[in-house]
């Protein structure tokens, strides 16, 4: 672990984890997300950032000057389905745009509790449909997301399959939540090692996202879905986080169904660390590996 990551890890343990309880303060969580936006490094000048609209769903468009293809990444931000924003994940999105050389659309899907499940997922489907309607072939579209956005990435693929629509070229899931029932062994075994998240917080956000839902429903918990036929998928996760088994079990299930899967487990780091790529070199390094995977899948 780099010196920068070690320092930030201890900071997260002392300042963030104590507030990750079963009693959620949505307004405070959203304010933290806004603080992240204000503290980010600006994107480089060769990334053009503008507002976009995908089938009526607002998005932030990040277009690299070096773009030489009509491909696109549909990015779904994290934030426990109830916070976060397209702007809050710029540390990831502009880097993916630059490294892969294609436009990223960072989606501003609707958030719970004002808009509980399936509103956010519906927005993701609508945005994906809009990219197809623009003339982009599914084979040139990547869907990616971190944390809750990783959940939505997999749920979107399952919805597309159920609706008979073409799958994207690839999926990228950074520390995804794939099982809202919290049945993974690492929820218990990593409770002390995880510097950011607690089991009580995971249970609470599931209730906010789907207050009356069956949490084993595949569009809520993709781990319980029929994953045959899903596209190549890259999982990035820390071996020290509570959601380790959410990635590990999902990857094993997909591999068993014949899906091409990369399961990239990093030691010591925390949940969704590429969101802190401005501060820690491990974020940049992880995104380099993801970009290489995507370039290979897209034939670039």
In terms of DSSP bridges, do strands 141-146 and 72-76 run parallel, antiparallel, or are they unpaired?
A: parallel
CA–CA distance, 277 with 268 (Å, rounded to integer): 16
CA–CA distance, 25 with 3 (Å, rounded to integer): 32
Can you name the residues that pair with 72 across neighbouring β-strands? 103, 141
Of 52, 53, 49, 97, give the one whose Cα is nearest residue 73: 97
Torsion angle defined by CA atoms of residues 34, 17, 280 and 249, in that order, rounded to the nearest 10 degrees: -110
CB proximity list for 272: less than 8 A, separation 6 or greater: 78, 146, 147, 174, 175
> Contact, 44 vs 94, CB < 8 A?
yes
CA–CA distance, 264 with 118 (Å, rounded to integer): 29
The residues annotated with a catalytic role in the active site are: 147, 241
Q: What is the largest CA-CA distance in the chain?
A: 48
């Amino acid at each position: 672990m780099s010196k920068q990551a070690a320092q930030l890890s201890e900071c997260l343990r002392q300042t963030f984890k104590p507030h990750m309880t079963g009693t959620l303060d949505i307004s405070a969580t959203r304010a933290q997300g806004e603080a992240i936006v204000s503290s980010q490094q600006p994107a480089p000048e060769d990334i053009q950032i503008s507002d976009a609209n995908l089938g009526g769903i607002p998005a932030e468009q990040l277009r690299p000057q070096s773009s030489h293809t009509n491909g696109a990444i549909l990015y779904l931000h994290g934030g426990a389905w109830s916070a976060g924003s397209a702007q809050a994940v710029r540390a990831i999105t502009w880097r993916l745009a630059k490294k892969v050389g294609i436009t990223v659309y960072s989606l501003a899907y609707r958030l719970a509790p004002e808009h509980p499940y399936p509103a956010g997922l519906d927005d993701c489907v609508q945005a994906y449909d809009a990219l197809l309607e623009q003339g982009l072939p599914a084979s040139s579209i990547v869907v990616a997301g971190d944390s809750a956005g990783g959940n939505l990435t997999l749920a979107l693929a399952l919805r597309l399959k159920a609706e008979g629509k073409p799958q994207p070229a690839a999926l990228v899931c950074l520390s995804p939540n794939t099982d809202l029932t919290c049945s993974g062994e690492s929820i218990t075994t990593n409770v002390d090692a995880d510097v950011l998240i607690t089991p009580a917080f995971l249970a609470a956000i599931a209730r906010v996202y789907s207050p009356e839902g069956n949490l084993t429903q595949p569009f809520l918990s993709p781990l319980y879905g029929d994953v045959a036929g899903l596209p190549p998928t890259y999982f990035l996760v820390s071996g020290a986080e509570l959601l380790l088994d959410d990635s590990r079990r999902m990857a094993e299930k997909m591999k068993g169904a014949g899906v091409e899967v990369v399961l990239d487990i990093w030691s010591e780091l925390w949940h969704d660390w590429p969101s802190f790529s401005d501060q820690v070199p491990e974020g940049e390094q992880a995104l380099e590996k993801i970009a290489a995977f995507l370039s290979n899948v897209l034939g670039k």
